[in-house]
Structure 1
Amino acid sequence: MTLPTVTPQDIRSALLLRWEIALLDIRQEAEFATGHPLFAANMAAGRITLEAELRLPRKDVPIVLCDNGEGLVGAASAQFRALGYDNVRALAGGLEGWRSAGYELFQDVNSYAKAFGELVEARRHTPSLSADEVASLIAAKANIAILDVRRFDEYATMNIPGSVSVPGAELVLRAGHAAPDPDTTIIVNCAGRTRSIIGTQSLINAGLPNKVRALRNGTIGWTLARHNLEHGADRRGGVGPFDGASDNARDVAYRAGVRRIGASELAALRQEAHRTLYRFDVREADEYAAGHLAGFRHYAGGQLVQEIDMAAPVRGARIVLTDDRSIRADMTASWLAQMGWEVYVLDGGYDGSLEVGPPQVLPKGDPAHRYRRPYEGTDVAEQAMQAYLEWEYGLVDQLRRDGTHGFYVI
């Protein structure tokens, strides 16, 4: 069977018009990270049967497969057809066809979320402090609170001394507990740049009374400045929103264009079989396991913003978020809306029957084919870390050249 093709120009048009499309790069993650279109999502050919039905919930969604001339597309399309996907095509000419059309290729993983983070900093002038400035504040025992917005396992591997784990979407919910004194300066850090920029700007957008600063370049910048990291820390930030946090988070979501819906509107969205609908519970994993709404997949809010290409590879789809406290869903939705998604927050629902059980977790891939992030672990070469930062610094210009992103910043 000859697989139909779609041109790079047609894909670009679909992206600009916000039509649904799943542009899937089926190479291994390490190869994907060497260069791909901005809105391509990685689904390695060997993982299609594991991942497709979770990540592509609508069987007739337009799927476009690409590789870099390795000859993977034919067998991959057969796997999709065997799973019931009936609208599968190939990118004409593969990645070389994309290059030949004059279009941009983006390196690394989660590239468009990282590019968006750089755009936020450029547009909002998100304030930051250097590693040396933060180290001086720590040494002087200044009135500061350092909040680490990465996943807890990342934090436990290595962290800024004295910092507390408050994963991204939890910030507005927990900042009042972490820094009850409005004179305390809050410093937000991640491993590199994106999550600390988004976290810092989240607190600013939500009207936290404290001064808030990002640790510029995160643990990478800290390491390059020759400061020591802690290992094995287990400090977690408690729940304690600041005054007005809930109303402020809702206002931020409204300003970003997020719509709030109830059960009847959610049912109406589900009935529209011609549209892809993603439903995510953005709370912590233990809260989800204790009781969640049927049909909602767990994806902690901060990671959802960072990994939206992994969670929702159908660009142009709809997203509904839920959270029993609302704050996390509102803040997460505000960022997804600015990234060009049609996103809703579901009101209520937790007073009825809930499903109980842990989040669904996809099996990890072969480590030999995994892209080693330059910001993870404790044995990364300094040259790789510096190169990663320089790549991030260039993303705003690359977005401008690409021209398909449709991002805006409130």
Structure 2
Amino acid sequence: MAGLTAEELHTLLQGTGEYALVDAREPRVTAERGSILLGVSLPLSVLELRADALIPRRSTPVVVYDGGDEDLATRAADKLLKLGWTDVRVLDGGLKAWAGAGYKVQTGGDHVIGQAFGEWIEDVYDTPHLTVEEFRRKRAAGEDLVLLDSRPIGEFENHSLPGGTSIPGAELVYRAAEVVTSPDTLVVVNCAGRTRSILGAQVLINAGLPNRVVSLEGGTQSWVLEGHDLEHGRHSLAPEPSGAALEAAHAAAQRFREKFGLRSIDRATLEQFRAESDKRSLYVLDVRTPEEFEAGHLPGATSAPSWDVAPWVFRHIATHHARIVLVDNDGVRATVAASWIEQFGWGEVFVLEDAFAGQALEEGPVPRTPLAVPDVEAVAPADVTGEFAVVDLQPSHDYRAAHLPGAVWALRSRLSASAGAIGGTGPILLTSEDGLLARYAAADLAEATDRPVRVLDGGTAAWRAEGRPLTSEEPAWLHTPDDAVANGWRETDPERRKAGFRRYLAWELGLVEELRADDTVPFRAFP
């Protein structure tokens, strides 16, 4: 298998050609041991489930890396080649070689670049902010202010600040005038930490909102650290714009077009892009809400809500310098999202004009495209008996919340090497959320053990649907739960949670200095 040196990779990252840089390790390992800024997390454990959407063009140059002292990159590259990608190489010596060559290693997250983008925005544009104490003092004094939470409604309902309204991503520009009705109102934007607070405040400033706009420093984490209570289960969502509010949104979109030099394309150009997609990667992202997407979308488009595009564009696009076409109903949210991608420097972005005019739309979610699903023997929930040793491969936080009694948790990428550690001597039953990941793991495990290997038909979801017992008690771990980055919100002990918040916020505040030491930063400022 072909490899390339750290120096060759560095040259590739500073060029203008397409490439995908893939980190094959688990997210927690990446966060704790470091990563390359422009890499995209695609763990070997879930490669067949995500690769098609992240890297759709099979001839895209792909570079895979790991820590340098393991075989994950080689195994992942071999899988990609077998699945049809034709230009796949491994970084010789992995991350250790990258660091050894004098290049910057980023730590603290599986995608440091997302939070770093928010800190860079604040640094470059001098985005104003307000502390929690200043905010509380103003509100207690009865000052005219509005609190906008830039997280989607699911996160908002989980926990929110008193008096806030959910209005995430580009919805801030689209719906702002429905919530902010006076130019004298102070607009405060918050999220769980810093990133989306900063991006939300700056995007409203860019939109030309006449109000004073600030981010709430530290968001809900700082609120908790200062001893204040959060609200849970509250539903407060900004309404869709109409009348004067919609006119204001369209006017704001025009300001974005002019400030960021954004480009629009027509239907014929999109079809030309599609015809060329075997030579130039193409991503068509619908940035409306998931509910709008499922009600009717363009064939071939992917749901990528605007709050996912900024700053998490890498969740949908692993190929750098690809063509990216953004879609919505009237161009406002697509234009706002395009401005973020332009600043992010991730690819060549376009907004589709009159996206739905005269088009036959598809309904429902776009099904994912798992690749080369193995044909393995499945066992119906009703046929599961005590003879099976049950191994659970669903995300570790889901396993903690509810798993089959007696199930042990494992990582698919490490399962074959741990075959001898699985309890019992009888057949092994693998399960995952819907049973699909379990099928891949079963094919791997069958080559590493003489014991019969089966999968739970339909996975844990089918088990639950039949009303069969699940438990959160007595979790057992075949592997360290490295599938998720450490997160203060998952701590149940209040002091441990606060300690996690302090570490996270301090890390975010240090990211601008970390970027200054990295010559691969792609961000672009627009005065």
The TM-score range, normalised by the shorter chain, is: over 0.9
Report the counterpart of residue 61 of structure 1 in structure 2. 60
SS at match of 1:381: helix
1:357 aligns to 2:364 (yes or no): yes
What one-letter code is carried by the residue in structure 1 that aligns with 2:283?
Answer: Y
What one-letter code is carried by the residue in structure 2 that aligns with 1:134?
Answer: F
My pick for the range that moved more, 381-390 or 340-349, is: 381-390
1:102 aligns to 2:102 (yes or no): yes
Give the Cα separation in 2 of the matches to 1:61 and 1:361.
20
Tell me if the contact between 1:161 and 1:230 (Cα under 8 Å) persists in the aligned partners: yes
Report the counterpart of residue 369 of structure 1 in structure 2. 482
What one-letter code is carried by the residue in structure 1 that aligns with 2:189?
Answer: V
Shift of 1:148: 0.7
* Pair member with larger Rg: 2
What one-letter code is carried by the residue in structure 2 that aligns with 1:66?
Answer: Y
Report the counterpart of residue 299 of structure 1 in structure 2. 304
Shift of 1:251: 2.7
SS at match of 1:22: strand
Tell me if the contact between 2:490 and 2:497 (Cα under 8 Å) persists in the aligned partners: no
Shift of 1:151: 2.1
Q: Aligned-residue CA RMSD in angstroms?
A: 1.8
Tell me if the contact between 1:207 and 1:248 (Cα under 8 Å) persists in the aligned partners: yes
Give the Cα separation in 2 of the matches to 1:365 and 1:169.
29
SS at match of 1:58: coil
Report the counterpart of residue 416 of structure 2 in structure 1. none
TM-score of the superposed pair, with normalisation by structure 1: 0.95
Residue-by-residue CA offset, 1:128-171 (whole Å, 9 max, x unaligned): 10011112233334321111111221111111111011111100
SS at match of 2:349: strand
Shift of 1:243: 4.9
Residue-by-residue CA offset, 1:47-74 (whole Å, 9 max, x unaligned): 1111111111001111111111221122
Report the counterpart of residue 328 of structure 2 in structure 1. 323
Size of the aligned set, in residue pairs, is 408
Give the Cα separation in 1 of the matches to 2:187 and 2:123.
21
1:50 aligns to 2:166 (yes or no): no
| Shift in alpha-carbon separation, 1:122–1:144, aligned structure 2, 3 A | same
1:386 aligns to 2:393 (yes or no): no
Tell me if the contact between 2:52 and 2:369 (Cα under 8 Å) persists in the aligned partners: no
| Shift in alpha-carbon separation, 1:147–1:378, aligned structure 2, 3 A | farther
Q: 1:11-410, aligned counterparts within 5 Å? A: 11-34=9-32, 35-68=34-67, 69-107=69-107, 108-240=109-241, 241=245, 243-272=247-276, 273-340=278-345, 341-351=347-357, 352-360=359-367, 365-367=395-397, 368-372=481-485, 374=487, 376-377=489-490, 379=492, 381-410=497-526
SS at match of 1:161: coil
Give me the identity figure in percent.
36
My pick for the range that moved more, 199-208 or 392-401, is: 392-401
Give the Cα separation in 2 of the matches to 1:54 and 1:20.
16
| Shift in alpha-carbon separation, 1:378–1:178, aligned structure 2, 3 A | farther
Give the Cα separation in 2 of the matches to 1:175 and 1:207.
11
Give the Cα separation in 1 of the matches to 2:218 and 2:368.
30
SS at match of 1:153: helix
Shift of 1:398: 1.5
Give the Cα separation in 1 of the matches to 2:253 and 2:159.
30
Unmatched runs of 5 consecutive residues or more in structure 1: none
Shift of 1:24: 0.7
Give the Cα separation in 2 of the matches to 1:373 and 1:219.
17
Shift of 1:18: 2.3
Tell me if the contact between 2:207 and 2:253 (Cα under 8 Å) persists in the aligned partners: yes
Tell me if the contact between 1:191 and 1:376 (Cα under 8 Å) persists in the aligned partners: no
Tell me if the contact between 1:177 and 1:239 (Cα under 8 Å) persists in the aligned partners: yes
| Shift in alpha-carbon separation, 1:377–1:283, aligned structure 2, 3 A | farther
Give the Cα separation in 2 of the matches to 1:317 and 1:390.
34
What one-letter code is carried by the residue in structure 1 that aligns with 2:519?
Answer: G
Tell me if the contact between 2:208 and 2:255 (Cα under 8 Å) persists in the aligned partners: no
Give the Cα separation in 2 of the matches to 1:251 and 1:267.
28
TM-score of the superposed pair, with normalisation by structure 2: 0.74
| Shift in alpha-carbon separation, 1:330–1:375, aligned structure 2, 3 A | farther
Give the Cα separation in 1 of the matches to 2:159 and 2:233.
7
Shift of 1:261: 0.3
SS at match of 1:321: strand
Give the Cα separation in 2 of the matches to 1:275 and 1:304.
21
| Shift in alpha-carbon separation, 1:327–1:316, aligned structure 2, 3 A | same
Tell me if the contact between 1:33 and 1:371 (Cα under 8 Å) persists in the aligned partners: no
My pick for the range that moved more, 192-201 or 300-309, is: 300-309
Unmatched runs of 5 consecutive residues or more in structure 2: 371-393, 398-480
Structure number with higher relative contact order (C-alpha < 8 Å, ≥ 6 residues apart): 1
